[in-house]
Structure 1
Amino acid sequence: MRFDLADIKAFVTVAKLGSFTAAAAEMHVSQPALSRRIEKLETALNTRLLKRTTRKVDLTPVGMEFNRRATELLHNFDEALLGISDVARNVSGEVSISCMPSASRFFLPRILRDYHERYPGITVRVVDQGATDAIAAVKRREVDFAFNHLEVPDPELTFMLVLQERLVLACQPSHPLARKKSVKWAELGAYDYMTVTKASSNRLLIDLALATVPNKPRAFCEAQHVSTLVAFVEAGIGIAAVPNMCMPIGNHPSLVSVPLTNPMISRKVGLIRRTGSRLSTAAQKLYDEILKVKHTLR
């Protein structure tokens, strides 16, 4: 049989994405070149693996079984390569992840530094996105997995909890509330309060939690992104309630975070992947590295 590993990878990629166009883009080859690899594989095996239509690509019964075994073969091969430190440094590939901006700034740098040191040939593409866009990117297979919060369970997605993050008050060190051990939500109404727009999942979380709270704060300013709110607070425009990870770590000259209570509002943050899907070995190793740090998070 005259076919090689590249031919098998081409078939598995087409089977995974269900499209020659998408598979060619992911493998960085032309579509005709990809088609030739599939034809070469089918000729060598003397059987049809794919059913091509004008709208999509399906697997034949033989193709389904071959895909299962080929995927396992490639996974074991990649696992063997990445398990040998001298070889792993020369392994190439790409991992794409969606990550909420606050997490990108908070702890992803240390993970990527260690990951790159072990696998310098693997490119990690990080897409900064909010929850809604991240979920869509995972479903469309634009990224391998996402680090974000998933407020509503979805059978198409598997969510692995990394941390439960509470909302805190962001204010300047000179603000009257900055020296308090905790602040009630009802206390915020006496000051210039800012929040995110209703398009944000954080806003929905806050509105639902404060639905029955008397004297809830009324915002004089709304911003689309939490990072914008933090910048406004730092500039002295007002105060805001933001996720804890959005605040600077340690002492900061112009920003202070104070726990918010009555009620205490938190969100679950974790890893999101397609249910039943198998990550590439390179993506799985990065996924596992992120899970390892969950006990070190504040």
Structure 2
Amino acid sequence: MAPHPLPYDNARHLDHPGFPAVIINFDLNDLQAFRAVVDKGSFRGAAEAIRISQPALSRRIEKLETALDVKLFERTTRRVSLTMVGRAFLPKVERMLDDLDVALMGISNVASTRMGNVTIACVPSTAYYFMPHVISEFHKLYPKIRLRVLDASAGEVCHAVASGEADFGVSFSGSLADEVEFELLLQERYVLACRRDHPLAQRDSVTWAEAYEHDYITVDKTSGNRFLLDQALRGVRVKKPSICETHHVTTMIGLVEAGLGVAMVPSIAMPAGEHPILVSVPLVEPHVMRNVGLIKRRGRTLPPAALELERLVREMPFRSA
């Protein structure tokens, strides 16, 4: 968020027994610092998030506590936690900052100048071809908002969202932490990724057993996709081992493009339109599906900029072969 040295009427907005019933002028930068410390759980992480030095952040918090004449945080060498008064203060601060952000983002000539940070975590299969379209559209609307993309395994995406490192995530359903919730966006099927010059490229569909007769690349046992496929393909006879294992689907596609073999991948991982080298062929017997959706930390309201990115993720058409 850009600096907004605007006064706020404490008597009107902070009507709680823990706060003095007098008019106090707040700098919104101080409130921004307070929310950043809460979100990141540390002064160091908060300072990095709003791009100021740690001493400068500490001064903002001290200024706020002095103005209110209350203690907002309990600080030890290992952790930072809200006091009882701090917990009461938090929802009021969030409402003020979010209301301001919503108002500013609703003004077209102001929205393009909005500053801030948004972090999205996503599995690599969504990051390679799908997310660039989302990011491009977001950057056109909000060129000064800095986006951070954490492309990682499903487990790491879940952890990033649960810990607050990411505002929200795009992943597939599976073993999720209790702190996060999953919202289905689409069901996608697995397809065969191969080169245009491969013998299977012109087929309308290919069975899994047929695909395994060719040189193929697969993901290793640390991948969430591998677990899903092992469960779904128990009845499929595999005649020979893979020629190579990778950790991420995107690496498999690169190896396919280089001519090493074929790979069985989620449809969203493949290019949406015509590609000069790669082809997607539907896999059958069985049809293997994967649920892809948004994951968010339970009970958390996304800040306006993150809500805008989430809206674009929802609205961007998914490809499901």
TM score, norm. by length of structure 1: 0.91
Letter in 1 for 2:314: L
Q: How many residues align?
A: 297
Shift of 1:132: 2.1
Shift of 1:167: 0.9
Q: CA RMSD in A?
A: 2.0
Shift of 1:215: 4.7
Aligned to 1:119: 142
Shift of 1:120: 1.8
Given that 2:124 and 2:249 are in contact with CA atoms closer than 8 Å, whether structure 1 keeps it comes out as no
Alignment counterpart, residue 10 of structure 1, candidates 24, 27, 33: 33
Question: What does 1:85-164 align with in structure 2 at a 5 Å threshold?
Answer: 85-164=108-187
Shift of 1:216: 6.2
Aligned to 2:68: 45
Letter in 1 for 2:242: A
Deviations 1:170-201 (A, max 9, x none): 22334333232222112223222221111211
Q: Distance in 1 between matches of 2:252 and 2:64?
A: 55
Shift of 1:261: 1.3
Given that 1:89 and 1:118 are in contact with CA atoms closer than 8 Å, whether structure 2 keeps it comes out as yes
Alignment counterpart, residue 67 of structure 1, candidates 73, 85, 90: 90
Letter in 2 for 1:40: K
Given that 1:163 and 1:297 are in contact with CA atoms closer than 8 Å, whether structure 2 keeps it comes out as no
Of the structure 1 ranges 99-108 and 130-139, higher mean CA displacement relative to structure 2 is found in 99-108
Given that 1:3 and 1:40 are in contact with CA atoms closer than 8 Å, whether structure 2 keeps it comes out as no
Deviations 1:138-179 (A, max 9, x none): 223222112222312332112222222211112233433323
CA distance 1:2–1:176, shift in 2 (3 Å): closer
Aligned to 1:249: 272
Q: Distance in 2 between matches of 1:45 and 1:253?
A: 63
- 1:286 paired with 2:309, answer yes
Of the structure 1 ranges 224-233 and 280-289, higher mean CA displacement relative to structure 2 is found in 224-233
TM score, norm. by length of structure 2: 0.85
CA distance 1:201–1:2, shift in 2 (3 Å): same
Given that 1:193 and 1:217 are in contact with CA atoms closer than 8 Å, whether structure 2 keeps it comes out as no
Deviations 1:17-47 (A, max 9, x none): 2322221221222222222211211221122
For residue 68 of structure 1, give the secondary structure of its aligned residue in structure 2: helix
Shift of 1:64: 1.0
Question: What does 1:226-241 align with in structure 2 at a 5 Å threshold?
Answer: 226-241=249-264
Shift of 1:5: 0.8
Consecutive aligned runs of 4 or more in structure 1 exceeding 4 Å deviation: none
Letter in 1 for 2:185: V
Deviations 1:60-94 (A, max 9, x none): 22211111111111110111111111111222111
